[in-house]
Structure 1
């Protein structure tokens, strides 16, 4: 047998052995030897040969490397199994458990780890009611025709094995919360899946549809946007990646033009060869066909023969459709419909004509952008007593759910607050009563973390394009310094040239097919026309072919793009001089100005309007344009190739503002080129100026906190959920007063009774504003203030990922838990009850819940020259902190400094670990950061509160941040307790939800 044959034999042996190990890894050499002896005698199975082949193929993605990448990743992501020895998925411990089962030596493990590293990614977070498990691994594997086709398509698109495995896991988490389509009992499940803005939610629900169809769901209704362009994009995506050519053709001969009349894609879509191919009609392969009730061009229309179209043949006529004997032989129906009143009315009308089978039909409703149009926003105060009045789309979705008693409803959104504020007592509404799933941040996604320096402790002068996301990607627009619009447009031309430069040097040009700039400044259409005219004039006057124009671009490239790309994309082709880039500037200018106009206005309300724009990114070969618009650019409409954004529009709702973040998304091959020009001083009202960049950071922090809390509460306690979806609304926070989580008419009242925060910061912000209350609060702090000595102590905090530490000076003191609780219990607050949920928790740390012995008080001391120090009620001199309240509100935007909080958290963390590091505090000691705060940002504000070295207690806010020890929790590990209003208990002002006693 020659060398080539030996190589093929090695691959064949490994493939056969790994195919038998899908459920769990086993002694590889043992089974490989048996396989080789029987089928491939003489094959070299030595470890050295295996390692050498892996090292070689890791560079090219060869078949043996691909085989092992798929298997190892599957084991890494597998749910808990006996072989995994209780190791968590996607951890080094899980990989080690697999190696141990395979009996691999240390050298081979090193090679595999280097070639196929463990994907240390987060899984989906699930908040759900208890459910009866039905979607087992065995059942999913036994029926997986469409999921395998979709999985194969994703590989063809270049998805990594880790990304596919992550999607497999996340989509399974959704499907297993649905009802078993084979079950006799009639029940609906309603859920919500929360992703990130432009983060691939469609990929998840395509995976969910594939698995749901395989499992037995036979009618899928996708509510896909409010415009036909958006609906058609979703339809094409499903057709291309899931439904496939054979189901689209329905037996037509693709070579016979006459038989193709009326069939979309064939002949007019250049991507038709890339549409999934099943190798023949699925029904001929012991699977089932899919019949499309909508097409790319046609939304749902009244069926000529509605009953026949939705008529399902039963193999066993005496048994219901949902019986396995019938279900898995029946064809499925899929439709993608617009969230439009007339369209949905036609669908409801047709379903009403179908009798009998609807009660037996397992159906799935996917509601994309479910917080848009679907939520009932009618005013309850105007309802007639005992009657719920619904807005049009909400009413029609409710009717669909009533007509399809076995339908499961899943909403998808990146901005979930409107959905979780739906009344849980309204059984006919879309509240996600059964599950709420937060998807992990996908690999390669550019989100808030890539535009904001969240929790960075680096000072302004220390931040560079290499260590600061803001320095690299954000360009602020401030009043008095020009609007920078010309610079933004120049950046668009330069980045286009850089993309062409990279495409010429081997970088795949797929991500560079489209190149766009977005200008979003107003919601008024008249403003759009005026702005577009201005930009168009600027374009023609920019002189991109002149010496002056090239000099301007050269300066911009040298000052901005060259240093950023050098620091963040050194592995990609980058020009060494502008002269090298200059030829591509000419080509970029031509592409942008093609057709005589570089600017496209996007603000219409009709399908006809969008059709004439020629902005179908799927069907148009190249879109290189500057898009000017408002709301229509902020929801659902994916702006492909978006590289430069110019954004100056304000909004008062967090979900509205967040949906405008079109600069979030996937930017393969050009992450370093992305630029955000954003208003730093924009008018909200005649009297109020806001910082849009800070606003985005605040609402992103709101959403991240929401996700973090979901993750914290998702852990089961004694096999039962800590919270259910109906208890989620109180977790919604708000960082800025002028940005509400959602519109007021989408929110209902809920009260958080108790928050347990072991090892987590407690930072109240709503302190009193009147001088009398401030004085009383300061007086209550007197016993603890007297505990401080004048001796300054250096407190260490981690400065960065390198592990290096820095210090800040502080005064410290130790007080008992009873002493601190006595002070906290007597404090007054601007909003009644705001601190009560935390105080209830702290009050239990005297041995009832757990024991906290004492608290380390830390009063950080300023070192800058303009610091102000003063005695507070006879205390040693303390540094007075400057903080500002949010405009029109009692709450401060923040209390603790980033470095101070990091130091306190590190103390708590070290104390909880059994390590050689000497803990600063004990395992039953909490840390309290204390700040005597004077309102205002100027030195004069602080000095006005001080007289002869003494601070006026009526002008000082005694603010604090508490971090209880990690041990401050009982064996139940419950973290929250709720009370909430519920329409099912209208007579009760506040009704108790699940008890945690």
Structure 2
């Protein structure tokens, strides 16, 4: 039974009460392992029936409330036989990690479960992707990997922890590339100083101050030296420093911008001061962490031998070291997955493609991301506020395109719009003022909840022009001055005397409209003069509590949470607010920006993250169009992560598996054009009418093949029990009885209902490389109510010329087909033709008349097109495309494997055959009638590997010998 909203909320209350009772009476501690059965018991106890969708929603909600981390990380490797070298318990001295671990526990915002997961699972997994710094070897070595997190999800804590564990394991040099603006670099340097160095040099009120911070407050001896500070990047005379890495017994850190000038100075100093002439390398192990690795690091030049300067200098720095690791961190990996894996520049160094590993970080259930906000059925969709009072000009009109001075002057003085110029100074929308008032009211609620010392912020991101940002600041300042003046001088301490005031009425209307989900605080509490004034104004100093600042590339000091931990701010900006910069305690976001790409759009969403104790208060003011875009990007990002998880399950490597990224939205690009030079467009059919697809690639895991055998065995038993007609699949007669006999013929079950077929497809396993045989796409197509002609199926078990027979009860009379097995990189491939089917399969289950009709229609089309008909084989697809009323076909093959001829280059194929232990390989094909000519398509952008595996021209079809 589907729960309505009232029943759902009551069930949530009942489950929460049940869990609280268990905590009190039996010391129950909710974990990933025990939370689901506990919820099941609570549902059973309630006596209310729930369907599986409701149970899933209830589980997700309780996991969130209990802060249970439920999505673990996944890694895909270049070598799944990777020998682990890092174990927490074998590290001799945990100086850096122990300090950081204690710091996270005492001062961090991460919950204990997530910290422990970081220590016990995530960081050891990543460490084992790196080189062992103490391992002896000859020559140089470089590993490249990518770590994918979520926007505002705690990536900094992850790479800070990684630096600590790497330092304890023996890494000497750490280079951290911290964004492209000085504000981002300073913010990152500050966090590294607190979590690793323990000492900082920073500017406070134009004065240089230094001292112990964070982990350094334990007063232990410092073992880390930073060559950069919050005041200074590696600039000007930094490359002239006479010291060397070897002169420091400590960990040496560099926190630098992704700026060509800065990186060149760092490269020159490393090369000139630290190279060992005997090895022509720096003999200290190095870890380079590239934060926001999709930004400014990806090679965007057309000629791979002339990469962009930033990309080239990063690679040159890596190439200086004997042992180097490049680890990119990003929440928007769209650009990274389109790096050409085969690119080599003139220095013979591969591009920054994550060849060796890709790791998706675990996502705590308390994380609030796009998937929880921008879908109508999700909990935080209610936190959206749609901006409807901005009227855009007609950008297609002649007057706008003409760009006349009079037209631009009029637009600059008019109401705000997307494509405003840098000279715009007009009228801002009323919704901006409404959102600011919401911010003030949310501050009051947080104060009343006892969070008075917590930082608060509001984001206003409307323009990339600094001049326009200043115009917005002046406007916001006027709103705030009027608000404070009215409260201070017109409001009475007795709230009942204020009810006729226009501001009182306005705030009441806003409260009823935007805060109806706040249940612990009433409007009567909020509207009191002392509460309203106290939220925005410091009576003792006679100045506003709310700072209004423009945040751009050089203004990081304005967001100084260290000097003012309770900072309340309205931050107005563009680029600096669009990537990397963290706004603490973000309550209200007013976002009206036009951006063209998935990655930039997601990075602009600084509202993603954690909202402990105020997840009912945060608001996102946004246009309906932008909300639609965010929903689309969220789906694309989730699909990408799901693909990576499936890649791990099938032991596919970054180079082996073709990545596709959903590209449904015409208004948005996935990433910048110059980052998608090797991307290809794929139109994936949602309609399979008139097509047949098969599974020429097998999962490298032999147990998957065994699972499929069990599914086939069970399926056949159901078919026999159902009494479906069972007969020969091919009507052709055989003249040579000495060669072929009835025992060799394929058999089929007729008129099998689609429900059995869907259930079977849902339970089998198929290699992801079989992109055309995408089980979920097939199931979706079959189950779509618009799909006709698929209610009854023919199920074929194909015979062949093998030495053995089907080992399935009831099918023992069918001789197995034989196919040669080859290795395609790390994928097992049946035959060298990239398909298991010939031509005869199209004729299965057809009468002679139907076969002749399909062939005639095919030849008629050829003649109409002017093609040569003489001597051409009728293609397999024709028997489906030109027969709109035939039944769909599911073909199942138990294949006898033949060892490849070239055993030297097919070692894994031979190993795979041996791992089968004499069992047959299971392969499938599905064909549909040509009921319609066209169907829906899904648009994707795919990387080079996907293209090579799935989109290159197939070899000509070969006529199989008839049975």
Query: Aligned residues, how many?
Result: 646
Task: Verify the 8 A CA contact 1:981 1:990 in the aligned structure 2.
Answer: no
State how 1:846-857 maps to structure 2 within 5 Å. none
User: Do the aligned residues in 2 keep the contact of 1:420 with 1:726 (CA within 8 Å)?
Assistant: no
Offset from partner CA, 1:45-65 (integer Å, 9 cap, x none)? xxxxxxxxxx99989xxxxx9
Which residue of structure 2 lines up, in the alignment, with residue 124 of structure 1?
73
The answer on whether the counterparts of 1:653 and 1:742 sit within 8 Å (CA) in structure 2 is: yes
Aligned to 2:340: 423
**1:664–1:728: structure 2 CA closer, same or farther, 3 Å change rule?**
farther
Alignment of 1:509-658 (within 5 A): 509=452, 512=454, 514-542=455-483, 543-545=486-488, 546=490, 547-561=501-515, 563-566=516-519, 574-575=521-522, 577-578=524-525, 581-590=528-537, 600=548, 602=550, 604-605=552-553, 607=554, 609-611=555-557, 614-658=558-602
* Contact 1:365/1:410 (<8 A) preserved: yes
Q: What SS class does the counterpart of residue 141 from structure 2 fall into? A: coil
- CA 732–974 in structure 1, closer or farther in 2 if over 3 Å, else same: farther
Structure 1 counterpart of 2:440: 493
Gaps of 5+ in 1: 1-54, 60-64, 77-89, 97-112, 249-260, 283-288, 314-329, 457-466, 681-690, 754-761, 768-776, 782-813, 825-834, 846-851, 862-871, 876-957, 993-997
- How do 1:475-874 and structure 2 match up within 5 A? 475-479=385-389, 483-503=430-450, 507=451, 509=452, 512=454, 514-542=455-483, 543-545=486-488, 546=490, 547-561=501-515, 563-566=516-519, 574-575=521-522, 577-578=524-525, 581-590=528-537, 600=548, 602=550, 604-605=552-553, 607=554, 609-611=555-557, 614-680=558-624, 691-715=625-649, 717=650, 721-722=651-652, 724-727=653-656, 730-749=659-678, 764=685, 838-840=771-773, 859=785
1:76-155 equivalences in 2 (<5 Å): 90-92=32-34, 119=68, 121-130=70-79, 132-137=82-87, 140-155=90-105
Cα offset, 1:766, TM superposition: 8.6
Q: Which of 388, 401, 404 does residue 321 from structure 2 map onto?
A: 404
Please tell me whether the aligned partners of residues 194 and 214 of structure 2 are also in contact (alpha carbons under 8 angstroms).
yes
Check the 8 A contact 1:602/1:632 in 2, yes or no: no
Shift of 1:557: 2.1
Question: What are the superposed Cα offsets for residues 111-159 of structure 1, whole Å, 9 maximum, x if unpaired?
Answer: xx99x98945221111221163233426654442211221111111264
Query: 1:425·1:983 contact (CA, 8 Å) conserved in 2?
Result: no
3-state DSSP class of the match of 1:668?
A: coil
Residue 62 of structure 1 corresponds to none
Instruction: Calculate the TM-score normalised by the size of structure 2.
Output: 0.58
Q: Report SS of the residue matched to 2:198.
A: helix
Q: Distance in 1 between matches of 2:149 and 2:643?
A: 15
* Offset, 1:234: 1.5
Any idea what SS the aligned residue of 1:498 has? Answer: helix
Retained in 1: the 8 A contact 2:173–2:285?
A: yes
**What whole-Å deviation, never above 9, does each CA across 1:19-72 have from its counterpart, x for those lacking one?**
xxxxxxxxxxxxxxxxxxxxxxxxxxxxxxxxxxxx99989xxxxx9xx99xxx
Q: Using CA pairs under 8 Å that are at least 6 residues apart, name the structure with larger relative contact order, 1 or 2.
A: 2
Aligned partner (choices 340, 364, 367) of residue 445 of structure 1? 367
Q: 1:291, CA displacement in angstroms?
A: 2.1
- Contact residue 496 and residue 588 of structure 1 kept, 8 A: yes
Kindly provide the CA deviation profile for residues 202-243 of structure 1, in whole angstroms up to 9, marking residues without a partner as x. Answer: 000001101111111110111112223322222221221222
Aligned equivalents of 1:780 and 1:433: distance in 2? 35
C-alpha separation between the residues in 2 aligned to 1:979 and 1:486? Answer: 44
The alpha-carbon deviation at position 161 of structure 1 amounts to 2.7
The alpha-carbon deviation at position 664 of structure 1 amounts to 0.8
CA distance in 2: counterparts of 1:477 and 1:963, whole angstroms:
51
Superposed displacement of residue 307, structure 1: 5.9
Pair 179,535 (structure 1): closer, same or farther in 2 beyond 3 Å: same
User: Residues 720-745 of structure 1: CA distance to partner in whole angstroms, max 9, x if unpaired?
Assistant: x22x2234562322231221211121
Deviation at 1:966, TM superposition (A): 15
1:816 shift after superposition: 6.7
Q: In structure 2, how many angstroms separate the alpha carbons of the residues matched to 1:750 and 1:972?
A: 34
Q: Any conservation in 1 of the 2:659–2:946 contact (CA below 8 Å)?
A: no
User: Which of these residues, 182, 187, 191, is aligned with residue 134 of structure 2?
Assistant: 182
Residue 536 of structure 1 contacts residue 597 of structure 1 at CA under 8 Å; is this kept in 2?
A: no
- Listed one character per residue, the Cα deviations across residues 546-570 of structure 1 (whole Å, up to 9, x for unaligned) are 4321232133223432x3122xxx5
Offset, 1:184:
2.0
| Residues 129/502 of structure 1: CA separation in 2 closer, same or farther (3 Å cut) | same
Map Cα deviations across residues 911-932 of structure 1 (whole Å, 9 max, x no partner): xxxxxxxxxxxxxxxxxxxxxx
What residue is the counterpart of 2:251 in the other structure? 332
Distance 1:340 1:728 in 2: 33
User: Per-residue CA shift, 1:61-90, capped at 9, x if unaligned?
Assistant: xxxx9xx99xxx9xx8xxxxxxxxxxxxx5
Query: 1:451·1:470 contact (CA, 8 Å) conserved in 2?
Result: yes
Aligned with 2:245 (options 296, 299, 310): 310
Query: Residues 142, 819 of structure 1: CA spacing in aligned structure 2 closer, same or farther, 3 A cutoff?
Result: same
Q: CA deviation at 1:370?
A: 1.2
Matched, 1:162 2:96: no
Equivalent residue for 1:361?
Answer: 284
Cα deviation 1:468-493 (Å, max 9, x = unaligned): 4222x111112589752221111011
Question: Which residue number in structure 1 is paired with residue 308 of structure 2?
Answer: 391
Q: Tell me how far 1:403 sits from its aligned partner.
A: 1.1
Counterpart selection for 2:381 from 466, 470, 493: 470
1:875-894 to 2 correspondences below 5 Å: none
Give CA-to-partner distance per residue, 1:137-189, whole Å, 9 cap, x none.
Answer: 26654442211221111111264331112222222221110011112223211
- Kept in 1, the 8 Å contact 2:174–2:286? The answer is yes
**Contact 1:644–1:675 (Cα < 8 Å) also in 2:** yes
- 1:433 is paired with a residue whose SS is coil
| Displacement of 1:264 | 11
Q: Indicate if the aligned counterparts of 2:187 and 2:581 stay in contact, CA closer than 8 A.
A: no
Q: Which runs of 5+ in 2 are unaligned?
A: 1-19, 39-61, 344-348, 392-428, 491-500, 693-724, 726-748, 759-767, 792-883, 896-915, 926-940, 956-963
**Structure 1: distance between partners of 2:590 and 2:102:** 38
- Identify if the C-alpha distance between structure 1 residues 92 and 748 changes in structure 2 by more than 3 Å, giving closer, same or farther: farther
- Report the CA distance shift for 1:990/1:600 in structure 2 as closer, same or farther (over 3 A): farther
- Mapped to 2, the partners of 1:141 and 1:56 lie a distance apart of 42
Q: Distance in 2 between matches of 1:146 and 1:729?
A: 39
- Sort the Cα spacing of 1:989 and 1:306 in 2 relative to 1 into closer, same or farther, 3 A: farther
- Root-mean-square deviation over aligned CA pairs: 5.2
Closer, same or farther in 2 for the Cα pair 1:564/1:351, shift >3 Å? same
Between the aligned partners of 2:467 and 2:783, the Cα distance in structure 1 is 58
The higher radius of gyration belongs to 2
> What TM-score do the two structures reach when normalised by structure 1?
0.56
Report if aligned partners of 2:477, 2:548 keep a CA contact under 8 Å in 1.
no
CA distance in structure 2 between the partners assigned to 1:483 and 1:278 by the alignment: 51
What is the DSSP-based 3-state SS (H/G/I as helix, E as strand, rest coil) of the residue aligned with 2:671? coil
Query: How many Å separate the matches in 2 of 1:625 and 1:117?
Result: 30
Q: Give the Cα–Cα distance (whole angstroms) in 1 for the partners of residues 750 and 441 of structure 2.
A: 62
C-alpha deviation, 1:587, in angstroms:
1.4
C-alpha contact (below 8 Å) 1:303/1:309 kept by paired residues: no
What is the alpha-carbon distance in structure 1 between the residues aligned to residue 945 and residue 673 of structure 2? 17
Q: Partner of 1:534: helix, strand, or coil?
A: helix
Contact map agreement 1:536 1:599 (CA 8 A) in 2: no
Q: What is the distance in 2 between the residues matched to 1:402 and 1:221?
A: 13
Q: Give the Cα–Cα distance (whole angstroms) in 2 for the partners of residues 401 and 747 of structure 1.
A: 24
CA distance in 2, matches of 1:278, 1:975: 64
